[in-house]
Amino acid sequence: PRLTRADLDSLPSYVPGRSPADLARELGMTEAIKLASNEVPYGPLPGVVEAVTAAAAGSHRYPDMGVVELREAFAERLGVDADRIATGCGSVALAEHLARVTCLPGDEILYSWRSFEAYPIIAATTGATSVRVANTAGHGHDLGAMSAAITDRTRMILVCNPNNPTGTAIGRAALDRFLDSVPDDILVVLDEAYREFITDPDVPDGLRTYGDRPNVVVLRTLSKAWGLAGIRIGYLVAQPSVAATVRKVVTPFSTSLVAQAAALAALKQADEVERRCALVVAERDRVTTAIRDLVPDVPASQANFVWLPLGAGSGEFAAACEKQGVIVRPFQGEGVRVTIGTPAENDAFLAAAATAL
Ligand code: PMP
């Protein structure tokens, strides 16, 4: 007999980046390079390992379910009240919670596509209907078409800025216009997972620019610039009633003891984060320039990865890079996303790409 929902059979799985240890074994190399999951390559921030180790001494007790100290730390850093903050097991969990608090079965979640691969999974598991609006020819959000796609059933809109996997970012005037066009009973989630890598002054900080709009939620993570991908901690800033509702539906204690300790330690390292992001950005610009000699239509990226719109050749390109020990992320038939690594890793990628193409 069928024990799980039939509609989930056709749901695509979230594809994690391949393990570099696994590839190295296959190739008989000592080490493979992973540029597939948008991590920052410089290791945990100073103090994080010590904080995690110290916290582990209390592992037999549940963590603070209210996440009080950490929410206060976020609040102070961001200049908002702590009652506007919710934390979760990665920002991807918070995106799912937001879908749960806004949508009943049959309601619609609207987003640009291609965008973050978790969005369709989140919509489907909630029982909501995904409404996807195709990216522009320049691989960015088509905000005019997204406005036009709003219906009576739209409950949540996901705007990924900068967009994963294309790296494109939305400027101030376009985002102003779009938000003005959205009815005030629809929640707009500005997914800013890559906020720290933005250098274009025209791309607005979602919180500073739109934080006072009651229907806007800003979603962020410590997985990327803050180096805590493996610890799993994301946060959102919303109006207090929305944040409180999210805190009610989170899986109890899902911001673990270790995650809270690691995040508190990481937040003390803002200067180091800024320094690392500057390195990543310089490399992003170097890789973009170099790769454009091979793939001329690579869009400008405001994130810590670049998008190679290789269409039907994407799978083959990624496989050729893998054979040379570099793991990148293909999106079959569309393109390849390449995370910015250390200068040496990026050189290895550029060499692999030159051979592959
Ligand atoms: N949003 C976007 C746009 C992402 O690319 C990612 C990670 N790939 C996430 C959210 C989720 O990150 P995490 O769950 O690690 O916070």
> Could you tell me the distance, in angstroms and rounded to a whole number, from the CA of residue 118 to the centre of ligand 1?
8
Owner of token pair 């850093």: 77
Q: Is the CB of 279 under 6 A from ligand 1?
A: no
Tell me what pLDDT residue 12 has. Answer: 86
CATH class of residue range 48-267: alpha beta
Ligand 1 atom nearest to 91, measured from its CA: 16
Q: Is the CB of 225 under 6 A from ligand 1?
A: no
Report the alpha-carbon distance of residue 54 to residue 47 in Å, rounded. Answer: 11
Tell me what pLDDT residue 13 has. Answer: 86
Q: Do residues 255 and 103 make contact, with C-beta atoms less than 8 angstroms apart? A: no
User: What are residue 301's phi and psi, to 5 degrees?
Assistant: -110, 140
For the cut 90, the answer to whether the pLDDT of residue 250 exceeds it is yes
For the cut 90, the answer to whether the pLDDT of residue 14 exceeds it is no
Q: What is the mean pLDDT of residues 53-72?
A: 97
Please list the residue range(s) of the chain that carry CATH number 3.40.640.10.
48-267
For the cut 90, the answer to whether the pLDDT of residue 258 exceeds it is yes
Q: Average pLDDT of the chain?
A: 97
pLDDT in tens, 119-150: 999 999 999 999 999 999 999 999 999 999 99
Tell me what pLDDT residue 233 has. Answer: 98
Q: Do residues 219 and 192 make contact, with C-beta atoms less than 8 angstroms apart? A: yes
ipTM for the assembly? 0.99
Nearest one of 139, 288, 277, 81 to 195, comparing CA atoms: 277
DSSP letters spanning 213-277: STTEEEEEESSSTTS-TTT--EEEE--HHHHHHHHHHSPTT-S-HHHHHHHHHHHTTHHHHHHHH
Helices (H) and strands (E) in the chain, counts: 13, 12
CATH class of residue range 6-44+271-356: alpha beta
Q: What is the mean pLDDT of residues 25-30?
A: 93
Tell me what pLDDT residue 15 has. Answer: 80
Q: Is the CB of 223 under 6 A from ligand 1?
A: yes
> Could you tell me the distance, in angstroms and rounded to a whole number, from the CA of residue 122 to the centre of ligand 1?
12
pLDDT in tens, 234-249: 999 999 999 999 999 9
Q: What is the mean pLDDT of residues 12-26?
A: 89
Tell me what pLDDT residue 135 has. Answer: 98
> Could you tell me the distance, in angstroms and rounded to a whole number, from the CA of residue 234 to the centre of ligand 1?
8
Please list the residue range(s) of the chain that carry CATH number 3.90.1150.10.
6-44+271-356
Tell me what pLDDT residue 129 has. Answer: 97
> Could you tell me the distance, in angstroms and rounded to a whole number, from the CA of residue 214 to the centre of ligand 1?
23
Kindly report the protein residue whose alpha carbon is nearest to atom 6 of ligand 1: 193
Q: Whole-model pTM?
A: 0.97
pLDDT in tens, 98-115: 999 999 999 999 999 999
Q: Is the CB of 112 under 6 A from ligand 1?
A: no
Q: Is the CB of 229 under 6 A from ligand 1?
A: yes
> Could you tell me the distance, in angstroms and rounded to a whole number, from the CA of residue 224 to the centre of ligand 1?
8
Nearest one of 349, 335, 221, 330 to 283, comparing CA atoms: 349
For the cut 90, the answer to whether the pLDDT of residue 18 exceeds it is no
Owner of token pair 């619609």: 108
pLDDT in tens, 286-315: 999 999 999 999 999 999 999 999 999 999
Ligand 1 atom nearest to 223, measured from its CA: 15
Q: What is the mean pLDDT of residues 213-239?
A: 98
> Model confidence at 211, in pLDDT bands (50, 70, 90)?
very high
> Could you tell me the distance, in angstroms and rounded to a whole number, from the CA of residue 92 to the centre of ligand 1?
6
Tell me what pLDDT residue 127 has. Answer: 93
Kindly report the protein residue whose alpha carbon is nearest to atom 1 of ligand 1: 193
Report the alpha-carbon distance of residue 277 to residue 25 in Å, rounded. Answer: 31
